[in-house]
Structure 1
Amino acid sequence: MAVRPIVIAGEPVLHRASALVTEFDGDLRTLVQDMYETNDAANGVGLAAPQIGVGLRVFIWKMENQDGVPTQGHVINPTVTTSRIPRERPDPREETEGCLSVPGESFPLKRAATAHVVGFDVDQRLIEFDATGWFARCMQHEYDHLNGTLYLDRLDDRQSKKARKAVKRNGWGKPGGSWLPGVDPDPFGHDEDVDRVDEHDRGHEHAHSEGM
C-alpha cells in the first residue's frame, strides 16, 4: 500500500471519462488500498481513481452517514442516479463543496438530496445502496470524476467566475500539477485543526471544508 500524488485540475485524466474495469485482480486490489491510504493521508471523505492519475471507474469513500452504509467503502463500475436537483441558488453556509484536485478552494454548489448507487466490490459482489444528505453529495461528486466532470464544471455563473479566477491565480488548468498528501501541507488546513475535530463530527466537518 502506498500514498499516491493527487493530480490537480488541468491534468487530462480529470477531464475525460474513465474506462470500465475489466480485470478484477491483484492490481485492482492494490489500487483500492492505495486509494484508501491516499484519502486518509489527505483527510478526505472520498477519492476517485482519476484523482491519482488512473483512468478507471473506481471510487472510495470514508464518511459518516445516516444511511446504514459502512463508513469506509469502495465501488467499481458504479452507476449513480439522483433525485431532482433544486433550481435555487446554493446556500454558501450549508452547501459549499471542495475537491482534493482543486486543493484549498471551495465553492457553493446545489446537489440532489438523494443518490442511488449500484456497482461492484473488488470481489465482483454487487453493491447497492441509497445515500442522503452530505453522503449523497459525496457519491455524486465522485461519480462525476469518473465521467470527467469536476465540481467546478457544475457551478452557477456567479461561482464559476470565482472559480476561473482561482484556477488562474493558482496556476492550474494545465497538465503537471499535483500534491502529495502527508508530505505537502494539507491545503484545507486539517494539519492545524485535526485535534479539534472529534470522530462524531468528522464526516460533516470535512465535507464542508475539504475535498472529495
Structure 2
Amino acid sequence: MKLPIYLYGHPVLRRESAEITPEYPELKKLVADMWETMYGSDGVGLAAPQIGRNDRIVVIDSNAFAEHFPECADRKFTLINPEVEVLDGETITRDEGCLSLPDLSEAVPRIEHIRLKWVDENFEPHEEEITGFLARIVQHECDHLEGKMYIDHISPIRKQLIKGKLNRIVTGKTRCDYPVRYAPKK
C-alpha cells in the first residue's frame, strides 16, 4: 500500500527512531509498503520516519544514479537497525534532495566513505565498506533515523535563504505528485 510521505515541519521527522526486533509486528508488510511508497514517489531511498514511523528501517534502490555513479548500479537494500561509521576521506559537496522536502535541493558536504552494519528483513547481519555517491545516499537516509535532515548540514546563511520555501512546506502551501502529511497546525 502506498503511504503518505511526512513533510518537513512534522515532529515525527525530528525524533530518534527505535531499534527493531524480529518480533516486530507485520515487518514484511511494512517493508513492502515502504518499497511501494518509495517507488511511487520517484525516490531512491525512504526511511521509516518519512512515513510517520520512528522505527530504524530504511529502503534504498540507488540504480537510478548508476549512469553517473557506477557504485550505485544494482544496489538495493533493506536496512534494519543500520549503524553508519564515517571513515576518513575528503569532504565532497553535492546536491541532495528529499521526499520530505519537496521542490528543494541543496549542496551538502559529506565524506563519501563509510562502514555500514545492518540486518536485512530476515535479520541476517551484514557489514560493508561503501564509497562514493552510494555512501551519501546511505548517510542521508540513516540521518532520518536520528531525527536529522540534509538541511541540518548546510550553512546558516543557506538556511536563511531557503526559509521562505521551508515555511511553504510547513504551512501546507507546497503541492506534491505523491500523497503527503503536512505538519500539524499549531
TM-score normalised by length of structure 1: 0.73
Instruction: Give the aligned residue type for 1:60.
Output: V
Note if contact 1:5-1:178 (Cα within 8 Å) is conserved in structure 2: no
Q: How does 1:2-151 map to 2 (within 5 A)?
A: 2-25=1-24, 27-64=26-63, 66-67=70-71, 70-84=74-88, 86=90, 90=93, 95-151=94-150
Alpha-carbon contact 1:4-1:34 (below 8 Å) kept: yes
CA RMSD in angstroms, aligned pairs only? 2.6
Percent identical residues: 32
What letter corresponds to residue 16 of structure 1 in structure 2?
Answer: R
Range 50-59 or range 70-79, more displaced: 70-79
With normalisation by structure 2, the TM-score equals 0.83
For 1:98-142, what per-residue CA distance to the aligned partner results, in whole angstroms no more than 9, with x for missing partners?
Answer: 010001111111111212110101111012222221111100001
Which residue is equivalent to 2:153? Answer: 154
Question: Kindly tell me: are residues 14 and 98 of structure 1, through their superposed partners in 2, closer, same or farther at Cα, counting changes over 3 Å?
Answer: same
1:25 CA displacement? 4.8
Is the alpha carbon distance of 1:45 and 1:179 closer, same or farther for their aligned partners in structure 2, counting shifts above 3 Å? same
Residue 67 of structure 1 and its aligned partner are, at CA, apart by 4.4
Alpha-carbon distance between aligned partners in 2 of 1:173 and 1:144, rounded to the nearest angstrom? 24
Q: 1:132 to 1:87 in 2, by over 3 A?
A: closer
Structure possessing the higher relative contact order (Cα contacts under 8 Å, 6 or more residues apart)? 1
Q: Deviations over 1:6-31 (max 9, x none)?
A: 00011111001001112445511111
Aligned residues: 174
**Runs (5+) with no aligned partner, structure 1:** 185-212
**SS of structure 1 residue aligned to 2:136:** helix
User: What residue is the counterpart of 1:172 in the other structure?
Assistant: 170
Offset, 1:58: 0.5
Look up the match of 2:183.
none
Opposite residue 83 of structure 2, the aligned amino acid is T
Quick one: structure 1 residues 135 and 120, their matched pair in 2 at CA, closer, same or farther if it must change by over 3 Å? same
Looking at structure 1, the residues matched to 150 and 72 of structure 2 have their Cα atoms a distance apart, in angstroms, of 26
Q: Which runs of 4+ in 1 moved over 3 A?
A: 23-26, 65-70, 84-88, 177-180
SS at 2:80 equivalent: strand
Code of the residue aligned with 2:107 in structure 1: it is P
Structure 2 residues without counterparts, runs of 5 or longer: 181-186
